[in-house]
Structure 1
Amino acid sequence: MKPITNALRGAPLLALAWAAGTCQAQSSVTIYGIMDAGVRSTTGMDPSNNRSAGDANMVNSGINTTSRLGYRGVEDLGGGLQALFQLESGLNINTGATSNTSKFFDRGAYTGLRGDLGTVTLGRQNTLLADAVGSADPLATRFASLNSNVAISALSSHQLGTEYGASGSSTGTYRLDNSVKYAYSLGGTTARVMHAFGNQANSNSKLSSDGASLEYKGDALQAVLAYSQFKTVTGLSLKAYVSGVAVPVGAGKVNLTYSGHTADTSATAKTRNQVLSLGGTWPLTPQLDLLVGHYRVNRARTANVDDGYNRTIAFLEYKLSKRSLVYLEADSTQWKNNYQGTGLKSSSTGLSAGIKHSF
């Protein structure tokens, strides 16, 4: 009887072990990240790539792709329904500090559900403009701190001095707090809508945002169109759009984007920005890729002379493995009508060399 008794006593443990294995198979959590650092030398820009009267040499983080650490998870709820979450922090690996001192998960903090009827997510997440730029930009948002589509088209560094939408910042509106995003895909077409609450007492409009986008991905063409509008705490508005196409050319592809926004900067003043970009990716060998993006920025402000700049950024990337690559980068900027500021150089250049590892 002892073997039978021992077997019966062990049955609950076997059942628990089986249940634990089943739960583990139905859900997963992934730790991921990008570590990117390089040596950079510039003329006419400071270590943060701002316009400057002098030159600079430095080690920078995220020259190719923004360094980050993230956690994402998914749980199968049955019937084709899944629960999901994502938490992501930007990092400056040259100093070991987080990119944002006030928001630890500054790059994303949301949860949601995904099923046959689409995906809904709630929390801090990219705007639809940022999603569109990520799909259409010639450099696929490489060098985010210098990329004009990231900075101006997607409003990461709009230089307007006011918080538009619940971004938590007066310098950029690339991501929004308190937001709800819904996406539905049919074939190669994805439609998205987004609303961000301002979370302001006695007001549904202050710091709020609304947007919609449509994206198509096919073998011969990729295209995206996005529109969003944002409110300040005083009721000023910013209205913006991003459009772009990508077509294959031989083994590579060519990207074209056109975007713009109009922002009320006061009750009587406006700022308008327009960005036209052209470029693409060309494989030179199975391991070596050339990426080039050219950006033309035009700015108009009430009671100011129109200005802007032309910027070209190029990358050579050599893949060491599926997760690691080394790169060379070169950029040149020609400022128009004193856009760079009084007393500063009329042109800027930069050279970088670095390594990126993904995990």
Structure 2
Amino acid sequence: MKKTLIGLAVLGTCMTNAYAQSSVTIYGIIDAGVTHVTNDNASRTTLEAGQMQVSRWGFRGQEELGGNLKAIFDLEGTLLNDTGTAGVGTGTPSTTSLFDREASVGLTGDFGTLTFGRQNILGVGSVGLADPMNLAFAATSPNVLFAAMNHSGVYGPFGANNGGTALRQNNSVKYISPYFHHVGFALMRAFGEQPGSTDKSKYEGASAFYHTGPFGASAAYARMTDITGNAMLKSYALGLRYTGEKFAIRSTYSSNELNTTQRRISVFGIGVDLPVAPALTLTGAVYDTRHTGDAHDNSQQYIAIAKYAFSKRSTGYVSIGRAVTDTVVSATQINLAQGFVSVGSDSANRFTMGIMHYF
């Protein structure tokens, strides 16, 4: 009987250790704000989700496999908490994907990280970290819409996303290296899975990044084709970041070009964070977006944000912004201030107040 009890105790300890070697985390962001936008000919007031950061939820897990090797997975979807729905439409025809932001599984260890599934393009994980306003106001940010190629009316047909925007790619393999003397790199390939061709609807990307102390720099390159394999979209981007005790400064430059029309869209941005009190941070950002090649247009955005941290998880914010374009926006042109300046206007002012909670 004594031996049996000892055996059960040992077995219980082993099972406890086995369970301790794996974990699953539920995480997310709930963000909502009241926004008032005044255009040349109209104004509107809305309650919108995902202002400071896109509202999301997800499951992230890992399991220890021994030898510093881990199996990992990540499932993440958009939350539209202003209406209570989850997931957004992707692809053509549009279908709601529950985990539209990420759906990947892979391995990580001393060799780096290798993942498979639906994933962000490489620029998001490198240059995106230097975005002037920390990827706030994603629905109107030039870096999200044009640098990350998330404007559906412009970048829909390219890459392995069934007609969806280029920001996230289906059927992809991504490798991220460990740091070597503060330098790392990443490679990614998304397969178009078109019969008889490996060149149709593909994505290929590479990035490099450098971080030491308060300084960081990153660069990304990508090329992707449409379903014919003839039209190719190429892009490159650079990001610089300095994060000090008294201030932080971030700057990005990106450009992408379509070979069939020579359309080029470029975005330059710069922003500064000023911590004026332990819980209060002020952010100022400027973006200049240019469309050249097949057409010529120019747009600027000027953003000011005040964020107050109620706790480590909850933040209140107030923002004012202004956007201007060279020409009056029409229903048929590429709108360089998408979602900010309305059709029939060439400028707009925006005021937003909201709260964001991490869990």
Deviation (angstroms), 1:20: 2.2
For residue 36 of structure 1, what is the aligned residue in structure 2? 31
Deviation (angstroms), 1:221: 1.9
Aligned pairs (5 A) from 1:179-198: 179-184=172-177, 185-198=179-192
For residue 198 of structure 2, what is the aligned residue in structure 1? 204
Aligned pairs (5 A) from 1:130-279: 130-157=124-151, 159-160=153-154, 162-170=156-164, 172-184=165-177, 185-235=179-229, 236-248=231-243, 251-264=246-259, 267=260, 269-279=261-271
Partner of residue 70 from structure 2, selected from 82, 91, 110: 82
Call closer, same or farther: CA 1:293–1:164 in 2, change over 3 Å: same
For residue 320 of structure 2, what is the aligned residue in structure 1? 330
Residue identity matched to 2:20: A
For residue 318 of structure 1, what is the aligned residue in structure 2? 308
* TM-score for both structures, normalised by structure 2: 0.90
Call closer, same or farther: CA 1:335–1:149 in 2, change over 3 Å: same
Q: Which runs of 5+ in 2 are unaligned?
A: 90-95, 333-342
For residue 103 of structure 2, what is the aligned residue in structure 1? 109
Deviation (angstroms), 1:257: 1.1
Deviation (angstroms), 1:10: 3.8
Deviation (angstroms), 1:169: 3.8
Residue identity matched to 1:155: M
Asked whether 1:64 is paired with 2:52, we answer yes
Contact 1:133 1:141 survives alignment (8 Å): no
Residue identity matched to 2:352: S
For residue 282 of structure 2, what is the aligned residue in structure 1? 290
Q: Which runs of 5+ in 1 are unaligned?
A: 45-51
* TM-score for both structures, normalised by structure 1: 0.90
For residue 48 of structure 1, what is the aligned residue in structure 2? none
For residue 297 of structure 2, what is the aligned residue in structure 1? 307
**d(CA) in 2 for partners of 1:59, 1:94:** 7
**d(CA) in 1 for partners of 2:156, 2:270:** 30
Residue identity matched to 2:351: L
Residue identity matched to 1:109: A
SS in 1 for 2:104: strand
In the alignment of these two chains, the number of paired residues is 341
Deviations 1:135-179 (A, max 9, x none): 110111111111111111011125326421012444x21110011
Contact 1:224 1:243 survives alignment (8 Å): yes
Partner of residue 14 from structure 2, selected from 6, 19, 25: 19
**d(CA) in 1 for partners of 2:243, 2:9:** 55
SS in 2 for 1:186: coil
Residue identity matched to 2:279: Q
Deviation (angstroms), 1:341: 5.2
SS in 2 for 1:270: coil
Contact 1:308 1:339 survives alignment (8 Å): no
Deviation (angstroms), 1:187: 3.5
Q: Structure 1 vs Structure 2: percent identity of aligned residues?
A: 34
**d(CA) in 1 for partners of 2:155, 2:13:** 57
**d(CA) in 1 for partners of 2:163, 2:80:** 19
Contact 2:87 2:99 survives alignment (8 Å): no
Residue identity matched to 2:131: D
Deviations 1:117-145 (A, max 9, x none): 11111101110122233211011111111
RMSD of the alignment, in Å?
Answer: 1.8
Q: Greater CA radius of gyration, 1 or 2?
A: 1
Q: Which one is further off, 155-164 or 228-237?
A: 155-164
Contact 1:162 1:232 survives alignment (8 Å): no
Deviations 1:79-116 (A, max 9, x none): 11111000001010010112414211000000111111
**d(CA) in 2 for partners of 1:100, 1:148:** 20
